[in-house]
Homo-oligomer: A and B are copies of this chain.
């Protein structure tokens, strides 16, 4: 189905080494330009990674740019994502908390939360200080 290529490895390794940081396409291209990866390959691979749920695209408040963040390290279908609107980072909510919220909402609202699809917006611990 998919072949392993140098360009893919370069991109994946870079993203995996920086799982908590956010990069715009521009930044990624700049950083990886020396390693030999064309813009079209970059776009195509970013798309593929997004389809596979390995990366997420998001925005920062105040910025008009789109950022990518690696979220492939955990099983994202059983977690709620916490997205900080200040710095743009995405965090995984502990699954115990997520499940207790799910049960709470199911009981009180009759609404069944799809954990993997929902993102909660707010301000993260670091940005609160």
Which A residues form the contact surface with B (CB < 8 A)?
56-59, 61, 64, 66, 82, 84-85, 91, 93-94, 97, 100-101, 104-105, 108-114, 117-125, 128
| Identical copies in the complex | 2
Given A59-B58, A85-B114, also A109-B94 (CB < 8 A): yes
Q: Give bound CA distance, A71 to B97, whole Å.
A: 27
- Our pick among B85, B91, B112, B123 for the contact of A123 (Cβ within 8 Å) is B112
Extra inter-chain contacts (7) besides given A61-B119, A105-B122, A118-B122, CB under 8 Å: A66-B66, A82-B109, A84-B111, A93-B109, A110-B125, A118-B121, A120-B120
Determine the residue in chain B with the shortest Cβ distance to A82. B111
